[in-house]
Amino acid sequence: MNQAMTNEATTTTTTLESRELTKTFYSTEPPTEVLRGIDLAVRPGEFLVVMGASGSGKSTLLYSISGMDRPTSGTVLLEGRELTSLSDSEMSEVRLTKMGFVFQQAHFLGNLDVRDNILLPALKGTDRSGRDAAIARVDALMERFGIAHIKDHGITQVSGGQLQRASICRALAGEPSVLFADEPTGALNSSMTGEVMDAFTGVHRDGTTVVMVTHDPGVAARGDRVIYLRDGQVVDEKAMGSWQEPEAQQREDELLAWLRELGF
């Protein structure tokens, strides 16, 4: 085998992949079959958006591919490494070192200021030099996402948009391979949604792979690609190309037309 063939065989072209992923909840009678064989391939640096009607399985998919919950069958690979066979402690380590999470509601500790809340997870298990590096990273992230000036504020003294940007900084402080977001703008008004989505666009442009669940076509229009779930299956997808601000309305309109065809 020549060198080119060897490289081809060992180089992974996806950051995150699922194969024939299923998830059934057996806690209900009858059991609830939520994911029914999902094949997904997320490219390095891609911004993938997951849409679908309420109850179609979006959050379950996000949890199953990020190791927050175990799928019933099928495999998930992160940078070529199979996650589905890992133990709980190995999976926790992968989540801590390779994944970042942003949810609809930001959970922060009320007795710490914004900066210490962002810093806390990044300090886990670090020595003195690791601590200095984490502090430098967090300060740079807060600067990058426009919240350096609120670093000493208490978490009740900042806006919802600032808090979500702080969540993004916290999620990025561990330098994840993938940033997962579940309805990150679901609790925000439209101007805060804009500022948070500008931050996600920045994250994506910095090269981080993003997988986001949203109901909001305006938010989804930021993505490179949108997949549509119905009854736990991916029934269609739309390639969007790179986000450009002047095309925002056109992208949203095109996405809406596609979504309407799908019955959204």
Ligand X SMILES: Nc1ncnc2c1ncn2[C@@H]1O[C@H](COP(=O)(O)OP(=O)(O)OP(=O)(O)O)[C@@H](O)[C@H]1O
Residue ranges in contact with ligand X by CB under 6 A: 25, 27-28, 32, 34, 52, 54-60
What's the min distance (Å) between Cβ of 29 and ligand X? Answer: 11
User: At 225, phi and psi to the nearest 5?
Assistant: -155, 140
What's the min distance (Å) between Cβ of 234 and ligand X? Answer: 12
Q: Which is nearer to ligand X, 27 or 87 (CB)?
A: 27
Q: Which is nearer to ligand X, 68 or 158 (CB)?
A: 68
What's the min distance (Å) between Cβ of 5 and ligand X? Answer: 41
What's the min distance (Å) between Cβ of 236 and ligand X? Answer: 15
Q: Which is nearer to ligand X, 64 or 117 (CB)?
A: 64
Q: Which is nearer to ligand X, 60 or 164 (CB)?
A: 60
What's the min distance (Å) between Cβ of 55 and ligand X? Answer: 4
Q: Which is nearer to ligand X, 24 or 177 (CB)?
A: 24
